[in-house]
Structure 1
Amino acid sequence: MALTAPKRKSQRKRRKKKAPKTRFAFYLRAGLIGVGALFAASIVWAGYYAVAAPPGTLLMLQRKLSGDVIIHPWTRLEDISPNLVTAVIAAEDTRFCLHNGIDFEAIDKALEEAENGKRLRGASTISQQTAKNAFLWNGGGWVRKGGEAWMTLLIETFWPKKRIMEVYLNIAEWGDGHFGAEAAAQARFHKSAKDLSSYEAALLASVLPNPHDWRVDPPGPYVRKRAGTVRARMHQVRRDGLDACVLKHQ
């Protein structure tokens, strides 16, 4: 008995030394499982929205909790005026049909302009904005930016460009609790989104970056000027077929 006691004590010491490594392996395994589950859930979520209308967004929930009345009718892309599709591409992302979600050419150009003393402008694509609006929250930070890049990759993989545009036009905010093209058209022009004229579409696209401060009913001098620029770009977009990936089947 006297000879075996030290051995048991030595075994206990070895077990104590191994315990931290065991805990680390457990946490690492649990973390990897959690990350894997998160990625799997995001793929399922993106796949579901490829065929089903998003019931709402985090921004809509935020607005509702702050007391706003949310108006969010879902409208098929076929029931939205092609003028608005072209206007949004002209105003927000003229290379929408050419890039794969993240426009590196636009990013390089924006950085080059900033180096030359110009104000740093955003280079977010319609695909990125759709991913952010549909799945994430407003604001900066690397977590949100990383999530946006991942979800942009997913929707560009699983959705056709037409579906990306359809979701974007249905969840974009146009101020006063109005989300989506139909709600905006009814509130601002008292007509259906499918009946929007070229000028009305240009006005709606012009205020998308800041729908709370820029108005279309009536538009101020800045919005009218911006709408004129968008209309000129619309002619260019149509001439070059830069909206064909969305409108070629309409």
Structure 2
Amino acid sequence: MIRRVLGFLLVTFAVLALLPIALVPVYAIPAVHPVSTLMLFDWARLKPVAREWVPLADISPVLVRTVMLSEDGQYCYHRGVDWRELNGVIDDALEGESTRGASTIPMQTAKNLFLWTSRSFVRKGLEVPLALYADLILSKPRLMEIYLNVAEFGEGIYGVQAASWHYFEKPAFALSSREAALLAKTLPAPSKRNPGKPSRMLSQIASRIEGRAKRAGGFSDCVVEPAQRQAKADG
């Protein structure tokens, strides 16, 4: 009996480990629209899910830039993991200090697609190899496109298109810099922040990131420029 249980657990673990390896190359295909584990969980509980896939070329560049600056300013320069930030978090944890977030966009995308949401060092440890693999297989624009289409922006609201319609009654390509900043700063705490009716604190932090995005240089060129070229080709 014990051997059967151990064998079942071993097979289950092997399947779960191999699933991302098999799926990430499939997700490189533009026609494939991945879903997140949270979306699957909501569907399993018969909860409503709002998500409308939108190509990166149809998302406001100001939103892309603001999200990158807010969540992962080194996105164009690292290969999936910002080792400097991650090592800082590990040092803080070993010293017993409160830890800050160090998840890159590839790490967050890996979490959204394959892992769970509760914070733990186990999950963080799994995010690292998955992020390295995803960044190796997927282009920077495609990885960003997936992230922006699976990220949670509120209960049952996934992706920037659904969030744009829900909070601002407009598509993602029409977002203003202010609206983009509010959505970007909702990402760290979608269950506690409402970009459509922002609190004073959310308004303040959104104003700061909006100003930084306007002053920032070419940190987002690896994503924004290919998306703009694609938009012109499609138009």
Query: 2:34, 2:146 within 8 Å by CA — same for their partners in 1?
Result: no
Query: 2:20, 2:130 within 8 Å by CA — same for their partners in 1?
Result: yes
Shift of 1:218: 1.6
The letter for the 2-side match of 1:136 is: L
TM-score normalised by structure 1 residue count: 0.78
Partner of 1:47: 25
Q: Distance in 1 between matches of 2:87 and 2:215?
A: 22
Shift of 1:233: 2.0
Partner of 1:220: 199
Q: Distance in 2 between matches of 1:34 and 1:204?
A: 37
The letter for the 2-side match of 1:248 is: E
Q: Distance in 1 between matches of 2:130 and 2:95?
A: 32
Shift of 1:222: 0.4
Q: Distance in 2 between matches of 1:115 and 1:148?
A: 19
Shift of 1:231: 0.9
Matching residue within 179, 188, 192 for 2:171: 192
Q: Distance in 2 between matches of 1:92 and 1:242?
A: 13
1:207 and 2:194 correspond: no
TM-score normalised by structure 2 residue count: 0.83
Query: 1:57, 1:133 within 8 Å by CA — same for their partners in 2?
Result: yes
SS of the equivalent of 2:205 reads helix
Q: Distance in 2 between matches of 1:66 and 1:82?
A: 35
Partner of 1:7: none
Give the total of aligned pairs.
221
Shift of 1:34: 8.1
Q: Distance in 1 between matches of 2:106 and 2:166?
A: 26
Q: Residue by residue, what CA displacement relative to the aligned partner does 1:109-152 show, whole Å, maximum 9, x if unpaired?
A: 44567799974211111110001101222124455334322221
Partner of 1:123: 102
1:39-118 equivalent positions in 2, closer than 5 A? 40-51=18-29, 52-110=31-89
More displaced, 114-123 or 97-106? 114-123
Q: Distance in 2 between matches of 1:124 and 1:246?
A: 18
Query: 2:34, 2:150 within 8 Å by CA — same for their partners in 1?
Result: no
User: Unaligned stretches of 5+ in structure 1?
Assistant: 1-22
1:150 and 2:150 correspond: no
Identity of aligned residues (%): 38
Query: 1:68, 1:176 within 8 Å by CA — same for their partners in 2?
Result: no
Shift of 1:198: 0.7
Using a 3 Å threshold, how does the CA distance of structure 1 residues 156 and 198 change in structure 2: closer, same or farther?
same
